[in-house]
Amino acid sequence: MEENKTAYGTIEEYILLYPPEVQEKLQAIRKIIKESAPEAKEKISWQMPTFDLFGNLVHFAVHKNHIGFYPGASGIEEFKEKLSNYKSSKGAVQFPIDKQPPIELIGEIVRFRAAENIKEAELKKQKKSKK
């Protein structure tokens, strides 16, 4: 399936662009992200479903043969051993579209990234209060 360039404004609209078997996987990813970082806000950024928590937390997107999951470089580096069965790059990992995504691992990565973003936001707040 080719990446759909249709305009959409919400993650729900994005998910509905795909066949039911892909929608199911995307909904599972969305659900674990929401459970793992309940205070994160949903949005569309860079034409991808995005979760924001004091800045970008994670993105995900459908591609022809995989679902891309984008936790940034720190998320990939921290979990590189657990992600070793998947094709990955500095800030992204590819989950084959014909297999179930590793939901528990995605949750672990999201919790790691949420803690990172919260810590970074607290440090920025402390620096501002010192000025």
Q: Where is 62: in which H helix or E strand?
A: strand 56-62
pTM for the structure as a whole = 0.90
Single-letter amino acid, residue 125 = K
Residue 25, domain member (yes or no): yes
* Total count of domains within the chain: 1
Looking at the chain, the whole-number percentage of residues with pLDDT higher than 90 is: 86
Q: Which domain holds residue 40?
A: 11-130
Residue 32: which CATH number?
Answer: 3.90.1150.200
pLDDT tens, position by position, 51-86: 999 999 999 999 999 999 999 999 999 999 999 999
Q: Helix, strand or coil for residue 48? A: strand
Residue 1, domain member (yes or no): no
Alpha carbon separation from 127 to 114, 115, 120, 122, 124 (Å, rounded): 20, 18, 11, 9, 5
Average pLDDT over the chain, rounded to whole? Answer: 93
Report the pLDDT value the prediction gives residue 3, as an integer from 0 to 100.
47
